[in-house]
Chain A
Amino acid sequence: MSTYKTFATDVLIIGAGLAGERTAIEVAKHGLDCIILSLVPPRRSHSTAAQGGMQASLGNCAMGEGDNPDIHFEDTVKGSDWGCEQDVARLFVETVPIAVREMAHWGVPWNRVVAGKRTLPDGRVIEEKKEKEGLITARDFGGTAYWRTCYTSDGTGHTLQYTMDSIVIKMGITVHDRVEAITLIHDGEKCLGVVARSLRTGELLVYTAKSTVIATGGYGRLYGVSTNAVINEGSGMFLALNTGIVPLGNMEAVQFHPTGIVPAGILVTEGARGDGGYLLDKNHHRFMPDYEPKKKELASRDVVSRRMTQHMRAGYGVESEHGLHLWLDIRHLGEKHIYTNLREIANICKNFLGIDPAKELIPVRPTQHYSMGGVRTNIDGHAYGLKGLFAVGEAACWDLHGFNRLGGNSLAETIVSGMVVGKKVAEYTLGAALEYSSRLVDDFVKKDEQRIKDLISGKNGNENVYQVRAEMEQTLMNYVGIFRNGPDLEKAVARLQELHERAQKVGLRSSGKGANPELASALRLPGMVRLALCIAYGALKRTESRGSHFREDYPRRDDVNWLKRTLAYWPEGSELPKLEYEPVTITELPPGDRGYGEQTGREEANHG
């Protein structure tokens, strides 16, 4: 028998971003014991990087007047290109105003309505009402009928995470930071916890729990250039996939944000366009109104990203040593606005580009940003296939976003899913008993010990983990991007299969001792390549265009054949994911036109 430290708890939460922490607060409120595992201290989580805001139809500001959950629902479903679960979307829009107010109660310094007249950058004059003064205000974001995105200047994710974590600390919830879950322990029916590796010492640890919640965020770093933090490697998703029983939903739905800076890929918030910023081409022409006369720069992200790419392909991109890009222009918003409401952008421009956005143009292009797909769960956040396994936030696919997520709906989702799923986790856990055989746990640990030994000894080969990884990143960048087609996707799948094989043959070049970073990467690599294959293979098989998934060879949405969700399984020993499909839940809004001028886009793309 192996010796290892074991921790037992009622609820184990993997990930201490907003979704994980909100779930923890909810289960702790129910009197349950809870441990959060996190790769990094909670306040370093990627949730903090969300600059823009959180959508909630409070309707306090002048441009939000008349807004309500029904309209938020409609925007979300249209944004998803009818790929989302409408019962989930309904639950979400009804809960999110409460979530925003609860965060205010806990300490988030939301920007507030200031009464009086002001002139917008486009010349419109609006008047904020006296009776609304001091209530939570909102800004404009893409794909929304009203100004609905609540914010704290340019640091919404930061203030939400710090406030959430202050409650976690206040409640005395246990957090084990610098601990990485590497395998889910299960008996084929129930999830029993995880095998984890300490990123301080390298030792293996066991956590047993009645319920396990995956809250690990997205997989952005599968792509060579992403706005995501470097820890966003999809770990929770491949933990679930590796069970062979739990499917991932809609992995081919990958969001590209219109404005990542070139070349670093760091995000410039949608708030820049929401507050009145323009996109310009190499001739300094504002081109978005040509394509999208109504929504202009503020169509949904998938549409704007496609239009930008299309415009660059038509020869209007700015040439640079890092390839083609376009310009983001916020100069006309004025120094005062830029240095307060958009200060983070000013800092990013100064630090990483050496420019002042109040005076100069910002080089941008669409950059991988968000994972709509994830661990497939039901509306309670309970994963398909294993009892006692839940998922929340970006790691999950309870399916609020379908094939495209609206800006401001991700922060909102993290908190709402934490509230809703946290309650369901508590209910499940209160009725569950923790029964497992120590033999089973031991077998799981032994397997991981063996993997580590083999990586250190180089028993299976001497592939370089960083090289295989770089090739995977490049494959997704080159062949599974914004515009997709059959031949490219076939190439991607073939290449990724080859990389999947090579990923099993990695041998370390360093000793692997202690908190060795090469070992950590090597342990993740096979799972990451599997996720990449789920994305590429799912995209190859989906012969239609929907939301962010755009096939040049199938440029139309096909509701007859494809109004369904992809479920990707990875049976043990398999070389490709096994794909199944399930219907999308439509309760209120039947499929229709998104109203972004999308149709014309498809015609144009169709003609090259």
Chain B
Amino acid sequence: MANRQLTFSIFRYNPQTPEIKPYMQEYRLEELPGMTIFVALNKIREEQDPSLMFDFVCRAAICGSCAMVINGRPRLACKTLTKDLPAKITLLPLPVFKLIGDLSVDTGTWFRHLSLKTEAWVHTSKEFDPKAPEERMDNETALKIYEAERCIECGCCIAGCATANIREDFLGAAGINRVARFMIDPRDERTPEQYYEVVGSEEGAFGCMGLMACDDNCPMELPLQIQLAYVRRKMLAQGLKLKVEDKIAL
């Protein structure tokens, strides 16, 4: 059987040459066995159009660099096989994030900002003692932290999120999951009140409209829905407590 002829329709725009308006460009390519979008895009760049911009790093679905909208869905391009797609493949950059050019977007700045905003590091008053053995931790707890830590910050959940698309300051599933990771961690000394400051708002856990595209789109298959419910429960409890205290204060 002859290989399929694929047609790629790819979003083109270089912010350095704003006089050329955004447009869709078509490329034709013969499909090869086991071909991924990573292989296809590199072939197009090397054989047809060396100006084409896109991002790959690990090409093994570990680093989160290559998320793009593939036939309408945000996915990791490196692990998307062309055989699972029709012969016409449309590629767009992720929405929400700042465009660098063509399919390349600036997820790095967005996620660094997220880390700063949620103070996504272990808050502890303890000093590290290089001479002491490590503090003990239950292995189940370690595994639970790892489960939330697995997020690769690819941006698929943000790009596919209705709230993130209309509300610029929304933390999104990745942000809420990141907060959950530190909430679970016994080394982090932040109190529920402090977390409430971070996620107990419309920008955080309560901004979600519950469409749950994040859960469907996550290439790491993280239980984003469960993490959201966990954070919401914690924040709701804290919120109710605050309310009661407010009343007492009145």
Residues of A within 8 A of B (CB): 40-46, 48-49, 98, 100-102, 104-107, 109-114, 133-137, 152-153, 155, 158-159, 162, 165-167, 169-170, 175, 177-178, 200-202, 229-231, 263-264, 266-267, 321, 340, 344, 347-348, 351-352, 354, 465-466, 508-511, 513-518
Q: Kindly provide the distance from the CB of B190 to the nearest chain A CB, expressed in whole angstroms.
A: 13
B153 touches A43 (CB 8 A): yes
A111 touches B142 (CB 8 A): yes
Which of B4-12, B13-21, B161-169, B232-240 binds A?
A: B13-21
| B126 CB-CB contact with A under 8 Å | yes
Task: Select which of B61, B122, B149, B152 is within 8 A of A351 by beta carbon.
Answer: B61
Q: A40-B57, A177-B108, A352-B60 are in contact. Are A109 and B142 (CB under 8 A)?
A: yes
Residue of B nearest to A167 (CB): B121
Task: Select which of B45, B130, B143 is within 8 A of A98 by beta carbon.
Answer: B130
Q: List 30 A-B contacts (CB under 8 A).
A: A41-B111, A41-B153, A42-B108, A43-B63, A43-B111, A44-B108, A101-B128, A104-B135, A105-B124, A109-B185, A111-B142, A112-B136, A112-B142, A155-B146, A155-B150, A159-B146, A162-B149, A166-B120, A167-B121, A200-B100, A264-B60, A266-B60, A321-B33, A352-B36, A354-B81, A513-B16, A515-B100, A517-B45, A517-B53, A518-B50
B139-158 to A contact mask, C-beta < 8 Å, 1/0: 10111011001101100000
Q: Residues of A contacting B63 with CB < 8 Å?
A: 40, 43-46, 48-49, 229
B62 touches A178 (CB 8 A): no
Q: Residues of B contacting A114 with CB < 8 Å?
A: 139
B135 touches A514 (CB 8 A): no
Q: A101-B134, A107-B121, A107-B185 are in contact. Are A229 and B149 (CB under 8 A)?
A: no
Residue of B nearest to A512 (CB): B51
Task: Provide the bound-state CA to CA distance between A456 and B232, in Å.
Answer: 55
Q: Residues of A contacting B150 with CB < 8 Å?
A: 155, 158
Q: Residues of B contacting A153 with CB < 8 Å?
A: 143, 146
B57 touches A230 (CB 8 A): yes
B14 touches A107 (CB 8 A): no
Task: Provide the bound-state CA to CA distance between A488 and B111, in Å.
Answer: 48
Q: Residues of B contacting A202 with CB < 8 Å?
A: 16
Q: A102-B130, A514-B15 are in contact. Are A46 and B58 (CB under 8 A)?
A: yes
Q: Kindly provide the distance from the CB of A112 to the nearest chain B CB, expressed in whole angstroms.
A: 4
Q: Kindly provide the distance from the CB of B1 to the nearest chain A CB, expressed in whole angstroms.
A: 15
Q: Kindly provide the distance from the CB of A227 to the nearest chain B CB, expressed in whole angstroms.
A: 9
Q: Residues of A contacting B36 with CB < 8 Å?
A: 352
Task: Provide the bound-state CA to CA distance between A136 and B135, in Å.
Answer: 9
Q: A43-B153, A230-B59 are in contact. Are A112 and B122 (CB under 8 A)?
A: no
A514 touches B121 (CB 8 A): no
Q: Residues of A contacting B104 with CB < 8 Å?
A: 515
Q: Residues of A contacting B126 with CB < 8 Å?
A: 105
Q: A49-B60, A49-B63, A516-B51 are in contact. Are A166 and B33 (CB under 8 A)?
A: no
Task: Select which of A100, A111, A169, A266 is within 8 A of B59 by beta carbon.
Answer: A266
A112 touches B138 (CB 8 A): yes
A229 touches B58 (CB 8 A): yes
Task: Select which of B58, B59, B100 is within 8 A of A48 by beta carbon.
Answer: B58
B146 touches A101 (CB 8 A): no
B50 touches A101 (CB 8 A): no
- B58-82, CB < 8 A from A: 58-65, 79, 81
Q: Residues of B contacting A465 with CB < 8 Å?
A: 50
Task: Provide the bound-state CA to CA distance between A45 and B64, in Å.
Answer: 10
Q: Kindly provide the distance from the CB of B142 to the nearest chain A CB, expressed in whole angstroms.
A: 4
A101 touches B130 (CB 8 A): yes
Task: Select which of B101, B111, B121 is within 8 A of A170 by beta carbon.
Answer: B121
| B30 CB-CB contact with A under 8 Å | no
Task: Provide the bound-state CA to CA distance between A107 and B126, in Å.
Answer: 12
Task: Provide the bound-state CA to CA distance between A102 and B133, in Å.
Answer: 10
A511 touches B59 (CB 8 A): no
B190-205 to A contact mask, C-beta < 8 Å, 1/0: 0000000000000000
B17 touches A466 (CB 8 A): no
B137 touches A112 (CB 8 A): yes
Q: A107-B187, A112-B139, A514-B17 are in contact. Are A41 and B112 (CB under 8 A)?
A: yes
A105 touches B128 (CB 8 A): yes
Q: Residues of B contacting A175 with CB < 8 Å?
A: 112
Q: Residues of B contacting A513 with CB < 8 Å?
A: 14, 16-17
Task: Provide the bound-state CA to CA distance between A191 and B189, in Å.
Answer: 43
- B86-110, CB < 8 A from A: 100-101, 104, 106-109
Task: Select which of A169, A266, A466, A509 is within 8 A of B112 by beta carbon.
Answer: A169
Q: Kindly provide the distance from the CB of A45 to the nearest chain B CB, expressed in whole angstroms.
A: 8
A133 touches B46 (CB 8 A): no
A510 touches B134 (CB 8 A): no
Task: Provide the bound-state CA to CA distance between A237 and B91, in Å.
Answer: 35
Task: Select which of A49, A136, A159, A348 is within 8 A of B149 by beta carbon.
Answer: A159
Among A42, A44, A170, A347, the most chain B Cβ lie within 10 Å of the Cβ of: A44
Q: A110-B142, A155-B146 are in contact. Are A169 and B100 (CB under 8 A)?
A: no
Task: Select which of A106, A231, A344 is within 8 A of B122 by beta carbon.
Answer: A106
B115 touches A158 (CB 8 A): no
Task: Select which of B47, B52, B56, B107 is within 8 A of A230 by beta carbon.
Answer: B56
Q: Kindly provide the distance from the CB of B18 to the nearest chain A CB, expressed in whole angstroms.
A: 10
Q: Residues of B contacting A169 with CB < 8 Å?
A: 112, 115-116, 120-121
Residue of A nearest to B145 (CB): A109
Among B33, B52, B128, the most chain A Cβ lie within 10 Å of the Cβ of: B128
Q: Residues of B contacting A166 with CB < 8 Å?
A: 115, 120-122
